[in-house]
Structures are given as structure tokens and as C-alpha cells.
Copies of this chain bind each other. A is one copy, B any other.
Amino acid sequence: MIGVFDSGLGGLTVVKELLLKVKGYKIVYFGDTARTPYGTKSPETVTRYAVENTRFLLKLGAKIIVVACHTASSTAMPVLKQTFPEIPFFEVVTPSMEKALRLTKSKKIGLIGTRTTVESRVYDRLFAEKDPEIKLYSNPAPLLVPLIEEGWLKKPETRRIVKKYLIPLKMRGIDTLILGCTHYPIIKKLIQEKAGKRIKLVDPSEEVASNVANFIEEHPEVKTTLETNGLEIFVSDLTAYFGKIAEMFLGRKVELKKVSIEEMVNF
């Protein structure tokens, strides 16, 4: 079984890509909707939540963990790998960084994400290690998550706010833009329109799903331990509205199962 977690339901854009690229294996998703959002919380808090979420998915039988949350990917990976050294982890930051490196010609790359993701400076560090000539220009875009979760996908307010967030990046002459949050692929067309044709977008959901697919093909010893087929979605809090949001991200109707934080932590 492939375990996937996110602070909320945005990580379902990763599940959607996994269902396309990693066909035939069981996926269990945990959306931490009782403690969402992670993007405004401190790195210590986010790391503790990430460890609890991982432990829950492992107890359910996960053999691979996909951290489908940029905030957790930016802050929690060292502790996760140290706490669960035998588990293959995939996160959403490195694959986007590598894809952007392959795409850019001007070596000027843009990034939008939550405040915590941008302020973690994880992309800055990764680019500096890989290619010191890369110039990364970041802009926190904290209103996009609430706008998307409201379903305001095409409203004029959303269009204006996207434009506003992109202006300082475009002024720097970027030719590649990393969507640094799993919510953003939902408004990819709008972001592309406001960014202009000259700028190539990097969609983290597509990149991480490709990496997981490659890993499984290259590791038959893991492949044989994965259960086949099925998708289960757990959330730590459930309201009527979450069903609609999940459907928006996954592109189809889906059942959400509630597991409280207490049940999850003591599972």
C-alpha cells in the first residue's frame, strides 16, 4: 500500500496523478483536516504532525510514504527519515526543483507557496547546492489556498490576486515557475494565463507521481509488498463541505472516512 498524507485535501491532486501514473496499487490517503492548515504553523509543530501522520499510515500497512504537503516536505523530512529509516519517503519539493533545473534556460526560476514553505528557504538551499548560478525568486501566495477551497476558481477576485502574486516574479524575468503547494494545480490554467506563455509551470503532483512510479519499477522487492487496487481516504475532521472539496481535487466523487486525532495517534 502507498500511504499519502497532507495537511488537508490539497494532496489529493497528488493522488489523482498517482492513480494515472502508478496504476494498480492500493493508496491510502490521510488528510489532517482537524489540524489544517500547516502553512501558518511553526516547523516544530508541522514536524510533530508529520511524524504522527506517517506512523498512522505505516500501521495501516503503508510500504511507501508520499508527503503530499509542501510545508511538511520543507520542514519535516530530516526528522521523518531519521525516525523511520527503513521507509522510502517521497516529498513534493525535490522533484519540482529537479524539473525546474531541467526546464530553465535563463536560470531565473520563480516560486509561489505558503508563507511557511517560502520562509523555510528549502528551495533556495536545494538550488544553491545543485547549481549556484540559479536565481530563485519567491513570493508567498497565502490567499490562494482559501480562494481555491472556496471554489472561487475562475472568479475575477481570484484572477486579480493571482496576477498580483505573479507580477514581482515576472518583473525578474523568470522562465520557469514552481507551483509550491499541492492546491495550486487546480488553478494551473489561470496561473499559466497570468504568467504568460513564456513561463513554464512545474506541477509538483505530476513530478512526485512520476518519481514514485519509477521507484516502484526499479524496486521489485518493494513492488511485491504493495497491496493491489483500491483507494481509501481518511480525514481527521469531517464536515459536509469537505466532500465537495475532495471531489474538486480528485476529479471524482469519493467517500471520506473520519478518524479523530486521538484514534489516529493511538491507532
**Which of the 9-residue segments A142-150, A212-220, A246-254 touches chain B?**
A142-150
Q: Is A135 an interface residue (CB 8 A)?
A: no
Q: Mark each residue of chain A from 26 to 38: 1 if its CB lies under 8 Å from any CB of chain B, else 0.
A: 0000000111100
Q: Complex Cα distance A149/B115, Å?
A: 12
Q: Is A222 an interface residue (CB 8 A)?
A: no
**Which of the 9-residue segments A16-24, A199-207, A237-245 touches chain B?**
A237-245
Q: Which of B33, B115, B150 contacts A241 (CB 8 A)?
A: B115
Q: Which of B116, B147, B157, B239 contacts A40 (CB 8 A)?
A: B239
Q: Complex Cα distance A238/B157, Å?
A: 30
A161: which B residues are within 8 A, CB to CB? 157
In the complex, residue of chain B having the shortest beta-carbon distance to the beta carbon of A260:
B45
Q: Is A121 an interface residue (CB 8 A)?
A: no
Q: Mark each residue of chain A from 131 to 162: 1 if its CB lies under 8 Å from any CB of chain B, else 0.
A: 00000000000110111011010001100110
Given known A-B contacts A34-B41, A237-B41, A150 and B157 have beta carbons under 8 A apart: no
Which A residues between 79 and 131 are near B, CB-CB below 8 angstroms?
115-116
- Minimum CB–CB distance from A45 to chain B (whole Å) comes to 5
Q: Is A257 an interface residue (CB 8 A)?
A: no
A238: which B residues are within 8 A, CB to CB? 42
Q: Complex Cα distance A83/B106, Å?
A: 63
Q: Complex Cα distance A145/B147, Å?
A: 12
Q: Complex Cα distance A238/B239, Å?
A: 27
Cβ-defined contact, B237 with A42, below 8 A: yes
| Interfacial residues, chain A to chain B (CB-CB below 8 A) | 33-36, 40-42, 45, 115-116, 142-143, 145-147, 149-150, 152, 156-157, 160-161, 164, 237-239, 241, 260
